[in-house]
Amino acid sequence: MPDLHPVARALISVSDKTGLLDLGRALEARGIEILSTGGSARALREAGIAVRDVAEVTEFPEMMDGRVKTLHPRIHGGLLALRDDDAHLAAMAEHGIPAIDLLVVNLYPFEATVAQGGDYATCIENIDIGGPAMIRAAAKNHGFVTVVTDVADYPALLAELDAQEGATTLAFRQSLAQIAYARTGAYDAAVSTWMAGALEQAAPRRRVIAGEIAQTLRYGENPHQAAAFYRDGSNRPGVATAVQHQGKDLSYNNINDTDAAFELVSEFRPEDGPACAIIKHANPCGVARGATLAEAYARAFDCDRTSAFGGIVALNQVLDADTARAITEIFTEVVIAPGADDAAREIFAAKKNLRLLTTSGLADTAAPGLAFRQVSGGMLVQDRDNGVITRADLKVVTQRQPSEAELEDLLFAWTVAKHVKSNAIVYVKDKATVGVGAGQMSRLDSALIAAKKAERMAEGLGLPSPLTQGSAVASDAFFPFADGLMEAAAAGATSVIQPGGSMRDAEVIAAADAAGLAMVFTGMRHFRH
């Protein structure tokens, strides 16, 4: 492959016309002949840029509503021909195939069509055929052909042509070829994923995941691990689509924890009142509602002030000045909220290292979606846990019925437990967590840890007794034995919410009755390993 290869002829066929005219003028000024089709040709010609129609080269008109225009040997031959192969050059001469040195193509907006809720026929019509075919051909022949698939690469292309006096280097062509194959791969992934959903195929034969780089990261979970952050194009409100207003770039762990915080706080709809979630290492260390956002933050903070230091704060309403002042009293890594008023942003501005992210709204936690996890030699794919339990779903299994206040706390605890690493135990009182036990190998140990945290906070706050006294407790899965339940009772819990379904349910229910507890079953569990 030669290093330098001159660009004498370009083929331009773009769906996204951003920057098209400036690019066309720049290529024309460099003496590069432009071939084009359809709307791209029309736009260039109307701007006074000389264009040769692809139909003139192929001697075939565009047909079938534009479905057939570039699928022709004179186009693909011009892209694929090896310029240092005498047989290829002879074939080009014999069949009138012009060499194409530069291909500029971006694809029909399939992903955008799906995101906008296009029906089946509309989505199908927005599947590009000629574009990917040309891109793949040009990328394969990157020894001689430069292929550009992204508007963002136009300046780099023109700079390269200037630097190399109308040519491009092999390294430049290689880089763009890799980008091109990644683009067609992502495009095909989007199509196949959409079709699997449209055809209700829960487990298609092949599953492809694609993403677009959002940022490179200094490192991953640990300094010896390289990392990057990619967007999947779903535009779901959250860390991937948020606007960062200040602070240094997010780290791998920041992104992971901020996502966990925002997904949790999104469970609490703003119309039902303010809510705050404080997250550390992807687990909640405090979640609460309040009459104001500041009160919700204060109550969440009081659950575990030690763990909240250096944590992530997520809010379900627009950040205001009072809440901003409270948050800045301790070191906080990230705050994410569906907006922030000017006064709050001014307060945060004095804390240069505090990241502030705002979103377009809360995530729809009931919406379907997929979750992925890598394992050795493969990956696990499952539905996102979008399970929701209401009062109507609860089954009271004890002699004592829970009170209205207990029911509210039980559902609050259940919602939080969904976002706690298993085995999860969550104590709640008056719509605020007062003890959280996460990620233990034994549910009994989670109950013990949560209660101990509550005791420690009571001592620190000068309370006469832990707030677990009179609390509701949630378990993300069933109690396999009565010992975990009894530990919760010893901590002061008076009501329990759990999935049920254990072989020993009768034993656990009997223990609850003996202790005077009210207990409800959900029939749903929330393992979060």
For position 450, what pLDDT does the model report?
92
Instruction: Give the angle subtended at the CA of 350 by the CAs of 346 and 352, to the nearest 5°.
Output: 115
> Strand (E) positions, 264-323?
275-280, 283-289, 311-315
Contact 294, 246 (CB under 8 A): no
User: Which tokens in the block code for residue 95?
Assistant: 């069949």
Mapping DSSP onto H, E and C, the string for 121-133 reads HHHHHCCCCHHHH
Reply yes or no on whether the pLDDT at 359 is more than 90: yes
Taking every pair of C-alpha atoms in the chain, what is the biggest distance, in angstroms? 96
Contact 78, 97 (CB under 8 A): yes
Q: Span 164-184, mean pLDDT?
A: 96
Among 334, 338, 310, 307, smallest CA distance to 420 is for 307
For position 160, what pLDDT does the model report?
97
Reply yes or no on whether the pLDDT at 60 is more than 80: no
Q: What type of residue sits at position 52?
A: R
Which residues participate in catalysis according to the annotation? Answer: 140, 281
Contact 24, 154 (CB under 8 A): no
- Secondary structure element (H or E) that encloses residue 436, with its range: strand 433-437
CATH topology of domain 227-358: Cytidine Deaminase; domain 2 (3.40.140)
Q: Span 268-289, mean pLDDT?
A: 96
Contact 347, 322 (CB under 8 A): no
Give the count of beta carbons closer than 10 Å to the beta carbon of residue 360.
Answer: 13
d(CA 311, CA 326): 14
Local confidence band at 524 (pLDDT 50, 70, 90 cut-offs): very high
Q: Write the burial class of residue 207 (CB in 10 Å: 0-12 exposed, 13-18 middle, 19+ buried).
A: middle
Fold agreement (227-358, 391-521): yes
pTM of the model: 0.86
Among 38, 79, 76, smallest CA distance to 55 is for 38
Q: DSSP assignment, residue 442?
A: S
Reply yes or no on whether the pLDDT at 56 is more than 90: no
Cα torsion angle, 183, 189, 191, 193, sign: negative
Peptide bond into 423 cis (omega under 30): yes
- Residue bearing tokens 């303010």: 274
Q: Span 7-17, mean pLDDT?
A: 94
Among 266, 452, 279, 284, smallest CA distance to 363 is for 266
Sheet with strand 283-289: strands edge to edge: 243-246, 355-358, 332-337, 311-315, 275-280, 283-289
Instruction: Give the angle subtended at the CA of 91 by the CAs of 90 and 95, to the nearest 5°.
Output: 120
Rounded to 10°, the helix 130-140/73-80 angle is 30
Local confidence band at 59 (pLDDT 50, 70, 90 cut-offs): confident
**Structural domain spans, the chain:** 5-198, 227-358, 391-521
What is the CATH code for 5-198?
3.40.50.1380
What confidence tens digit (pLDDT) does each residue in 212-261 have? Answer: 999 999 999 999 999 999 998 888 999 999 999 999 999 999 999 999 99
What is the CATH code for 391-521?
3.40.140.20
Contact 485, 508 (CB under 8 A): yes
Reply yes or no on whether the pLDDT at 71 is more than 90: no
d(CA 308, CA 286): 8
